[in-house]
Structure 1
Amino acid sequence: MNGTNETPETEEYRPGYDSDDGYRRYDPEIDRTISLRPATLERDAARLHAWLGSDHVKPYWQLDLPPTEFRERLAEKLSDDHLTPYVGCLDHVPMSYWECYRAADDDVANHYDADPADRGVHLLVGPEEYLGHGYARPLLRAVVAMQFERSNAERVIAEPDARNDRAIRVFERCGFESEGEFRFEEAGKDAVLLVCERERFEAEVLEGDGADGPARPTEVRR
């Protein structure tokens, strides 16, 4: 799926998979089911190559690469034990890409006082038809909830490009607070360090928004 008018691909669901792999929650704000599953090279390389080559993504991710080189980079990410790439879906339709990572083992740890339990997140919405409809915040809320539920982290951090005002606003509306800009030389960008504290997130973002509480994993065919 690449932002054209093609019929959206939907994910198929069946029982019996490893419940630690997938995640799902219903979000009443958008009346949609949000689900995430680990990305795979065979299933997702073409999809992610198209998304990361989109005009609204290229300036921030810098992964607009030839297909063969892109597959190599994706394979590196999939084999990196400090990072887990996910494909995010709305009502089973793939439409976003996420990277959840251990911040203390990432280059960002060179730029702030990282706790060993800190988690981090990168995100993008792929097909352009999903932009501007208020989906990014519920999606981010689900991913942050997943990270807190599946770890002992007290913080989830992000380091978006300082030019990406849209992403920064979404993070801030999801309980993240800015700790200032820094030159993220390893990533080749000026970034903003954003920090989301578990206590604030659970009290003000989950409970305050009336979200449906802890999500339950669902059956995802990988």
Structure 2
Amino acid sequence: MDVSLALKSAAMVAGLSDLRLPVSGFASHALVFGRPLIVSSGQAADSFRVSYHGAEVASGYFSGSTNKLLVFDGISISVSPASDEDIVNAVSEAVLACNPQLASFEVELAEDDLARRLLEAGAIERREDRLIVRPESLFQQSKPWLGSTRPAYPEVPVLTNGIHHPQRPPKPVGRVYSRFIPWLNTQLGFHVADLDSDLEHFHRWMNDPHVAAIWEDSGDLCYHRDFIASRLTDPRTLPLIGTFDGVPFGYFELYWAKEDRIGPHYEADGFDRGWHVAIGEDGFRGKAFVSAWLPSLMHYMFLADARTRRIVGEPIHHHAQQIRNLDRSGFAKVKHIQFPHKKALLVMLLRERFFMDRLLSPDLTGLSDENDQPVLGSLPRSGA
């Protein structure tokens, strides 16, 4: 099966050899098959290969200074559980994530059935006689990052404490999101907090003076066990643990805004979602890390339910660094809210803003790799 990709961009790079991939390869679809599809450079100049568990499942090369083609020599679906759609999407993710200056690219598919399936999923789109891959559409495919295509949970209205809202789906378990971060060359993941495996580091984080100053939830092990347990049983909340390469670094608490304390303070939609964060490990602070977990968390919330149009937050009004991070990540400042325990700033991120402005690719200007080159995955922006 031959697949060729013709790359185009508003500011096209000089040649396809300028396209970058990590030396050790780009790991895609990590949650789908247990092991990721690895997209890496081949032995020949301007070539690439896709492998699964050490076995090659596709190969190709970058060709043509005029036509800008990314050509697949072949795709094999006999040596891995990956479909031809998965393999094309994995290569597309690797190209776009590592080279976000590409606004889109054309794809020519030898198999009409493959093209039909990708069109039906929205991974590609047709413009006259051309097939186009755009990051705005590709990054709304849930399977590569969530491990499956999520159906919409039935919208059944319920009443909780006098609040009319949609009935919430059962809580997921285990790992719910995985994304390869090219500038860190590592895998970021979120999993649902587990009382046995996550209690010890959660307890340590919440007793850290920097975290306790914001959360005000320091306490003994029993208190923190009850804390996590209450979040797991509350239909409104989803407690997550973030990891880099499997190492836990922070706690993320998601909530449905409609029935949360924030809901009465604005016209909350039934699928608006909000979040709280506690970064517990000092070794995972700084621009390179926050630029990985923050947009990835937003990505997860938008993918988890396609009806989520807005994500809200309520940082304490004087937390200047957090508000700067939110501002850089596309959140609009709406207004101040006076809660009984704090004065907060209501911030809001629109689904359209996140995907159309390609905010999954952060501006990492000033960060360089070991060869003093700009890090992979940076999309410089001149303004808001």
Distance 1:110 1:164, change over 3 A: same
CA shift at 1:198, angstroms?
0.5
Normalising by structure 2, we get a TM-score of: 0.48
**Which amino acid counterpart does residue 335 of structure 2 have in structure 1?**
G
CA shift at 1:132, angstroms?
2.6
The answer to whether the Cα contact below 8 Å between 1:120 and 1:157 also exists between their aligned partners in 2 is: yes
Q: Which residue of 2 aligns with 1:138?
A: 292
Give the helix-richer structure, 1 or 2.
1
Q: Which residue of 1 aligns with 2:186?
A: 32
The answer to whether the Cα contact below 8 Å between 2:335 and 2:345 also exists between their aligned partners in 1 is: yes
Question: How far apart, CA to CA, are the structure 2 residues paired with 1:153 and 1:127?
Answer: 30
CA shift at 1:206, angstroms?
2.7
Alignment deviations for residues 126-147 of structure 1 (CA, whole Å, 9 cap, x no partner): 1122223531132010010011
Match of 1:179 among 329, 334, 339: 334
The answer to whether the Cα contact below 8 Å between 2:178 and 2:187 also exists between their aligned partners in 1 is: yes
The answer to whether the Cα contact below 8 Å between 1:60 and 1:164 also exists between their aligned partners in 2 is: no
CA shift at 1:82, angstroms?
1.0
Distance 1:173 1:30, change over 3 A: farther
Question: How far apart, CA to CA, are the structure 1 residues paired with 2:209 and 2:362?
Answer: 35
Which 5+ residue runs of structure 1 have no aligned equivalent? 1-12, 213-222
Q: Which residue of 1 aligns with 2:255?
A: 101
Which 5+ residue runs of structure 2 have no aligned equivalent? 1-30, 36-146, 149-171, 364-375, 379-384
Match of 1:191 among 315, 338, 344: 344
Question: How far apart, CA to CA, are the structure 2 residues paired with 1:61 and 1:134?
Answer: 24
Q: % of aligned pairs identical?
A: 28
The answer to whether the Cα contact below 8 Å between 2:202 and 2:224 also exists between their aligned partners in 1 is: no
> Which secondary structure does the structure 1 equivalent of 2:325 belong to?
helix
Normalising by structure 1, we get a TM-score of: 0.81
Match of 2:316 among 161, 167, 173: 161
Runs of 4+ that moved beyond 4 A: 18-21, 207-212
Aligned length: 197
Distance 1:194 1:211, change over 3 A: farther
Q: Report 1:41-190 matches (<5 A).
A: 41-151=195-305, 152-185=307-340, 188-190=341-343
The answer to whether the Cα contact below 8 Å between 1:137 and 1:173 also exists between their aligned partners in 2 is: no
Alignment deviations for residues 33-83 of structure 1 (CA, whole Å, 9 cap, x no partner): 210100011111121010011121111111111221222122111111111
Task: Name which of structure 1's ranges 152-161 and 71-80 shifts more when overlaid on structure 2.
Answer: 71-80
> Which secondary structure does the structure 2 equivalent of 1:206 belong to?
coil
Alignment deviations for residues 153-211 of structure 1 (CA, whole Å, 9 cap, x no partner): 110011111122121111111111111211122xx111111100001111221367696
Q: Which residue of 1 aligns with 2:90?
A: none
**Which amino acid counterpart does residue 53 of structure 1 have in structure 2?**
N
Distance 1:189 1:208, change over 3 A: closer
Considering only aligned residues, what root-mean-square deviation do their CA atoms show, in Å? 2.3
Distance 1:169 1:51, change over 3 A: same
The answer to whether the Cα contact below 8 Å between 1:88 and 1:94 also exists between their aligned partners in 2 is: yes
Question: How far apart, CA to CA, are the structure 1 residues paired with 2:187 and 2:355?
Answer: 20
CA shift at 1:32, angstroms?
2.6
The answer to whether the Cα contact below 8 Å between 2:274 and 2:313 also exists between their aligned partners in 1 is: yes
> Which secondary structure does the structure 1 equivalent of 2:336 belong to?
strand
Distance 1:208 1:85, change over 3 A: closer
Question: How far apart, CA to CA, are the structure 2 residues paired with 1:107 and 1:189?
Answer: 12
